[in-house]
Amino acid sequence: MLRGSLSGGVLYVVCCWSMVAMVVESGIGVNWGTISSHRLKPSTVVDLLRENKIQKVKLFEADPDVLKALMGSGIQVMVGIPNEMLSILSSSPSASDFWVRRNVSAYMGKGGADIRYIAVGNEPFLTSYNGQFQNLVMPAILNIQQSLVKANLAGYVKLVVPCNADAYESSGLPSQGVFRPELTQIMTQLVQFLNTNGSPFVVNIYPFLSLYDNKDFPQEYAFFEGTTHPVQDGPNVYTNAFDGNYDTLVAALGKLGFGQIPIVIGEIGWPSDGAIGANITAAKVFNQGLINHIATNKGTPLRPNAPPMDVYLFSLLDEGAKSTLPGNFERHWGIFSFDGQAKYPLNLLLGNKELKNARNVQYLPSRWCVATPSGDLTDVVNHMRLACSVADCTTLNYGGSCNEIGEKGNISYAFNSYYQLQMQDSRSCDFDGLGMVTFLDPSVGDCRFLVGVTDKGSDSSSFQTTCQWWILVVLLLLEGTFLLSV
């Protein structure tokens, strides 16, 4: 998923990866994104993972506070490298060595974090990037692999590249799947590397986006409960978009000579708000259907009895500060709300029959900011615009859970979102006399007026990440100076 953007027992056997892949049971993991206005302490989130017996987590960057919280947890970790770092890491072995030392070696060892994968980039071949990162991926991978060798970690930590499903295409049938023509060479190199080093191919699949982007897309085909529009592909019949998309990838890999390489689903899910079709009911039906479908171990027509090696749900928590460029739903993918409270019953088949909420979350006092009952609200537009430019108001838009609470309700929601973001500073509820603080919860039906949390993560992570970035730049400059002097 474009960024501003675990399972209990996993048992799999992979023999001669270039020849045959036999997967006995898929692992269910989660993506843990941190682009949030109300960010829980990492230790609170790790406790939430453990309480729900989730043993696999995928991170989008090497956040120091998050990695520290994961140390000693026993949770398997995939740590990500942002696309913006690929240029430096592809150009400088020294920068690559530094990144591995600082973000992998430093957290591993006895009692440390169980880092299993490094995701080199996040959907770097996405069509909308116009090839910006395409030629950086393999040089970055080769540098990081050598850095892992130097750190004696290459046998344990595997490199992967999460790809968006738009990396491949077909004329309508899964068996005709091929990689985009401009990616054929780079994909051949990448898959050869993955195969040689025992790494899976990681792909992100989003049936919701197929439905969102195409009004003619049959809605029931996005789910797992059967369809009146099955896709017939020779002897194979497809009743859901996931299997069809997955086998399109299998076919594309087969045309490169690697039809049996293990596949991991890096991201898949359904948003619960922010658009038509994005709601609690649909999210529950899709995610539970996906989990049950994977658990049958039936696989797909082109890979019978061999489901994905692992599946990482997108996502663990809502991220209220993500870019809404793709759509307002971007902030509502979590199976938990921002404060670690389950949105709906979901059985991950990991030992609990339903999700357990985060414990000991420290909330601000139970009070809200709303529009004054008798105030003249004719000039409130600028205040709402200011509030929503900072706070998350995406549920107010068409298709959102707060879209039908009336004009005054909309104003109150915007005011309150800003007020909570400002940690309930009384001055932030003034709005030139149009706002007032209330101790009565103004929530209406499914429209929840939030109360902020004090259990917030520290801001040190962004500072440390920025410091690392500048150190990498300095290393690159020094390396370039050295090369010029030689």
User: Catalytic positions, please?
Assistant: 123, 267
Element (H, E) at 77: strand 76-81
CB 21 within 8 A of CB 265: no
- Residue 128 buriedness (CB in 10 A; 0-12 / 13-18 / 19+): exposed
From CA 8, how far away is CA 422, in angstroms rounded? 38
Neighbours of 356 (CB within 10 A): 14
CB-based burial, 80-97: b 16+ in 10 Å, e otherwise = bbbbebbbbbbbbbbbbb
Per-residue tokens: 189 = 């190199």
- ω into 315 cis (within 30 of 0): yes
CA 421 to chain CA centroid, nearest Å: 23
Alpha-carbon dihedral 331, 335, 340, 345, rounded to 10 degrees? 140
Element (H, E) at 202: strand 201-204
List the beta strands (DSSP E) in 305-378. Answer: 310-313, 368-371
From CA 100, how far away is CA 390, in angstroms rounded? 35
Helix axes 407-421, 381-390, angle to 10 degrees: 40
Neighbours of 172 (CB within 10 A): 10
**Greatest extent of the chain over all pairs of C-alpha atoms, in Å:** 76
Question: What is the DSSP track for 147-188?
Answer: HHHHTT-TTTSEEE--EEGGGEE-SSSGGG-EE-GGGHHHHH
